Structures are given as structure tokens and as C-alpha cells.
Amino acid sequence: MIQKKIWLSPPHLESEEEEFVKDALSSNWVAPLGAYIDGFESDLELFLKNDSHVSALSSGTAALHLALVLLGISKGDEVLCQTFTFCASVNPVKYVGATPVFIDSDPINWNLCPNQLEIAIKDRIKKFKKPKAIILVHIYGMPARMNEIVTISKKYDIPIIEDSAEALGSTFKSIPCGTFGKYGIFSFNGNKIITTSSGGALISKTKLEKEKAIFYATQAKDRANHYHHSEIGFNYRMSNILAAIGRAQIIKLKKRLKQRRGNHEFYKKLFKHSKNINIFSEENKLFVSNHWLNCVTIKKGMDFTKNEIIDELAKANIEARQLWKPMHMQPLYCGNLFFGSNVAENIFNNGLCLPSGSNLTKADRHRINKTLKPFI
Ligand SMILES: *Cc1c(COP(=O)(O)O)cnc(C)c1O
């Protein structure tokens, strides 16, 4: 008998989502304008605090694109990017005609390595190519080394764009991820910690920047009594129907975070005494991950590979996945500058993600445990 599929990180919906969407439909507010959008933005602002101003958008990728537009980054500019990430963190740099320069990972934290970051900045400044921004990622929900990175950003006066797509609810020193940088972004895609089916948000520090972001997200219509445009805009605003899903989801965010952290405790215990496999976890209490996905790496010298584990889980109808393949290893970006060695590459070669949905049941965990046992 084939058992039900255990997905990596499926959407987690209940009755409120349907109620709110029905309400949006019956009110006839179905376009990218309406009370659910404003409400969803205030919900997020309340959750994040820290003077956050939120613009609800059609995707996390759109939010990154607008952050670059707001910073005035354009053709010929260079942007420093974390190599160990999903392509959506980096492609928007190309949308504005700029060039990504890649930085290796920290071996413990997996995010932007502060040492390589500073080496890269010094090198680019010496060559009269001072980078225009730093795009960092809190990968799989793990907060990046914000102490060091913020210090470097200030020292060289280079703004940070914080890709928090995977890190809603994560904190560093109790400060929410997504609120450290000049701009932060979140994604509400189907697999993220909360979803609007597809959607995203840009976090800025002032109301003015929020309004500017919404201006660009709604085709940059100038104030006039006819259609008047002096700048290029985009169609990036979130729809009121999707914001209705978002408002229903955010009510349960704290519960979802607890469930994801519960999954992490389960995996931590499972791998605690393993001689073969390491679990990716916070190094100390300053870092609080939302544990969007649980990741493991296989220790050196093992006689099995990540692919064997993924295949074995697949046979049991359990979805596990590869880690992000570093951007400097992609055909798309292999000609770009890269500062570092083989840290991100090693993580990619030896790691995988395990099922981590907030709707993972006790029975699911039992099946995962049984299938993983021979490798542990
Ligand atoms: C999901 C994701 C994005 C893109 O968000 P979308 O809403 O899918 O456009 C960007 N960066 C990272 C790290 C992501 O995981």
C-alpha cells in the first residue's frame, strides 16, 4: 500500500482562509486594491514593529526588484550577493542591468561570510567599482551574522537589502529578520512559512519609501487627472483576494512558528548522537531561526550520499530536496566574480532538506524516523 505523500513544506490552510476570501469576493473587491491589502500590511507592521513600513506585492522577487529600483541601482553597477541562495535573490540585479558579485558562505551560519564580504568590498573599491548594495539572505530561516555585516555596511556606507523570504519570525538579538537592512523582503509563496498562494512584501523604514514602492508597483502613475507617467512602473501590487488569505494566515503565524520549531526539536533529537549526519542549527541563543526548513549535512568519509537518502525517502513517499545550488556554480552566473573558497559548494554537495511543514503529524514523524534510521 502506498502511504500518503509527506511534502517538504506544503501550504497549511484552515477555514479562516476560505471565510476571508469569500468576504473579499462578496464585497466585489477583487483587484489589487482594497481593505484586505491595507489590513495585511498593518498586520505585518504590527508583527515586525521596529518602525517597519510594509508594501504588499505580488511576489518576493518583485519586492527585491523594487528595492533595487528604489536604491537607484542600474546598468554598470555592482551588487554583492550571497552565493548560497535561490536564484530569485539574485536575478533582480540583472533586471535592473547591474552585475551580481558573489560571496561565499560562513561554514557554521551558511549565510554571507563577513570576512569574504569585506575582502570583496576592498577589492572592488580599489578597482573603482564600489558596490551599490549588499543582498544578504537568512537561508532556511537562519539569521545571518548581522552584527558583523551591519558594521561592514556602515563602515563602507553600502546599503543592505535583506532577503528574508524564508525568515518571517526569525530574530537576531530579538530583532526581527527583515528589519535590519535599508530594505527587507518577504515571500508568501505556497511553500513559505505563511502563504498568500503567491505574494511578497517590501519592508522599508519610512512611510515615504513605502508610498514610493506602491507607486512603482502600480505602474508609476503621476498625480494628475489623466494617465500621466514620468517614470517606468510595474504591475507588482498584491491582489485583495490574496491579501485576504494572508490576513487569515497571519492570525496563526505564532502557532505556525511553534510548529516549525517543534519539527526542529524532533530532528535535533533524531540526529543528536549521529556519527554520520549533522543537523543545521543555531550556534547560540542570539540567533533564533523560524526553522522554515530543516537541513542536514553528511559528515566527511561516509559511505552514502545525499542522493541515496533522498531516494530512500522518495521510495517511502516522503519528499526531501537538495539544498540551493550556489549561484556562482550556475551556468547563468559562472562568469561572475566570486569571493571565497568552497564553503557553499561543500554545503551543497553534502546537504539536503527534510520535510518541515507546520502540518507535519506525529505519524509523519514516525515514518520519517523509520526511513532515516539506517543512515543515522
Ligand atoms: C522564495 C524565495 C524568494 C522569492 O520569493 P517569490 O515570492 O517566490 O518571488 C526569494 N529569495 C529566497 C531566498 C526565497 O526562498
Q: For the residues 92-98, what does the mean pLDDT come to?
A: 98
In the chain, the percentage of residues whose pLDDT exceeds 90 is: 95
| Pocket flag, ligand 1, residue 162 (CB < 6 Å) | no
Cβ neighbours of 244 (radius 10 Å): 30
| Pocket flag, ligand 1, residue 163 (CB < 6 Å) | yes
- Distance (Å) of CA 1 to CA 4, 316, 317, 320: 10, 10, 11, 20
pLDDT in tens, 247-275: 999 999 999 999 999 999 999 999 999 99
Q: Are 36 and 29 in contact (CB under 8 A)?
A: yes
- Distance (Å) of CA 204 to CA 63, 143, 179, 317: 11, 19, 8, 42
Helices 306-315 and 362-372: angle between axes, nearest 10 degrees: 130
Whether the predicted pLDDT of 81 surpasses 90: yes
| Pocket flag, ligand 1, residue 141 (CB < 6 Å) | no
| Pocket flag, ligand 1, residue 110 (CB < 6 Å) | no
pLDDT in tens, 128-180: 999 999 999 999 999 999 999 999 999 999 999 999 999 999 999 999 999 99
Query: Quick one: which of 70, 30, 96 has its CA closest to 203?
Result: 70
pTM: 0.96
Average pLDDT, the chain: 96
Q: Copy the grid coordinates of residue 330.
A: 550556475
Q: Could you give the CA distance from residue 139 to residue 152 in angstroms, rounded to a whole number? A: 20
Whether the predicted pLDDT of 310 surpasses 80: yes
**Strand residues in the chain grouped as ranges (E):** 53-57, 78-82, 99-103, 133-137, 160-163, 171-172, 175-176, 183-187, 200-204, 277-279, 287-288, 294-298, 321-322, 338-339, 351-354
Query: Which pLDDT score, from 0 to 100, does residue 30 have?
Result: 86
Q: How many angstroms does the Cα of residue 199 sit away from the middle of ligand 1?
A: 10
Query: Which pLDDT score, from 0 to 100, does residue 11 have?
Result: 93
| Pocket flag, ligand 1, residue 351 (CB < 6 Å) | no
Whether the predicted pLDDT of 124 surpasses 90: yes
Query: Which pLDDT score, from 0 to 100, does residue 288 have?
Result: 98
Q: How many angstroms does the Cα of residue 223 sit away from the middle of ligand 1?
A: 32
Whether the predicted pLDDT of 2 surpasses 90: no
Q: How many angstroms does the Cα of residue 65 sit away from the middle of ligand 1?
A: 12
Query: Which pLDDT score, from 0 to 100, does residue 32 have?
Result: 87
Query: Which pLDDT score, from 0 to 100, does residue 31 have?
Result: 85
Q: How many angstroms does the Cα of residue 306 sit away from the middle of ligand 1?
A: 24
Query: Which pLDDT score, from 0 to 100, does residue 3 have?
Result: 87
